[in-house]
Amino acid sequence: MAHRIVRDFERPDPALYEGLRGLPATFFTGPEGLGNDILFDPAIKPLRPNSLVIGPAFTVWLPVADLLIANYAITLAAPGDVLVIACAQSDVGVWGGSMTISARNRGLAGVVLDGAAIDSFAHLPDDLPVFARTRTAAKGGWSEPGSINVPVRVGGRDVHPGDLIVGDINGVLAIARDDVARAAEVVGAYRAKTKKIDWLARLKHEPGATWFDILEMRPSLDALGIPEVARERS
């Protein structure tokens, strides 16, 4: 395949998703969100458990485990971008500690890597979240080709430059750039609903409170027509 490097692309208006910053990934998924098809493989997890990321995808495709193209991508990405790196190998690392610091220095929002990370990360900045499929001590070289800002396959999902990336300890997801405005409406409505219900306070303080009762699930259960008896006859 012929490689290419695209230096820039159209990003979603930050005003559309700024209000979603800090929300958990679970607000975006499921029947009251955007469904579960937007999620990446759950094997892709943050290297630090308190990580939160949101921003437009700046994509990288690596056919072999080599660090050259990913390092160049750091210099091209804009502040607030999320590097989304697809690598055909996961047994050799393509992202390390110095790259995390470089990305932080450039103002990137985070990194999502369908591949392996190297280094302990114990000394790295807390404010640059890195998500990876695995960790390893093996590291690649600095000489192989790759592509920047092309469609990639990450965690079993297609990602295009400019798609909105959201991630936390529960997982990572991508929203198509053209769907960001709708996503903001859907997620905003769900957020307003949870605030109105104040479900956490009710669960903590109402004796015998359950999620079933707070969300008023009984009508949905009744609609299924499942027979229900007080006790099975012997």
Quick one: pLDDT at residue 44?
A: 97
In a domain, 144, yes or no: yes
Q: Check: CB of residue 167 under 8 Å from CB of residue 51.
A: yes
- The pLDDT of 74-96, averaged and rounded, is 96
In a domain, 138, yes or no: yes
Of residues 32 and 169, more confidently modeled: 169
- The pLDDT of 54-71, averaged and rounded, is 97
Residue 56, domain CATH:
3.50.30.40
User: What whole-number distance in Å separates Cα of residue 67 and Cα of residue 89?
Assistant: 12
Beta strand ranges found along 96-201 (DSSP E): 110-117, 130-135, 147-148, 152-154, 157-159, 164-168, 171-175
- The pLDDT of 94-110, averaged and rounded, is 94
Quick one: pLDDT at residue 195?
A: 76
In a domain, 54, yes or no: yes
Range of the domain at 107: 14-178
In a 10 Å sphere around its CB, with 0-12 CB exposed, 13-18 middle and 19+ buried, how is residue 166 labelled?
buried
Residues 6+ apart with CB under 8 A from 169: 45, 46, 49, 50, 51
Of residues 202 and 14, more confidently modeled: 14
What H or E segment, with its residue span, contains residue 58?
Answer: strand 53-62
- What's CA 32's distance to the chain center, in Å? 18
SS3 40: coil
The number of distinct structural domains making up the chain is 1
Quick one: pLDDT at residue 198?
A: 76
- As a dihedral over the C-alpha atoms of residue 152, residue 153, residue 155, residue 158, rounded to 10 degrees, the angle is 90
Say yes or no to pLDDT of 123 above 60: no
pLDDT band at 190 (very low <50, low <70, confident <90, very high): confident
In a domain, 110, yes or no: yes
First to last CA, the chain: 69
User: What whole-number distance in Å separates Cα of residue 23 and Cα of residue 177?
Assistant: 18
In a domain, 44, yes or no: yes
Quick one: pLDDT at residue 32?
A: 86
In a domain, 85, yes or no: yes
Report how far apart, in Å, the C-alpha atoms of 133 and of each of 5, 11, 34, 48, 114 are: 24, 26, 24, 13, 5
In a domain, 198, yes or no: no
Quick one: pLDDT at residue 167?
A: 97
Say yes or no to pLDDT of 26 above 80: yes
- Positive or negative: CA dihedral 56, 60, 61, 66: negative
CA nearest to 70, candidates 34, 15, 108, 38: 108
In a domain, 6, yes or no: no
Quick one: pLDDT at residue 95?
A: 94
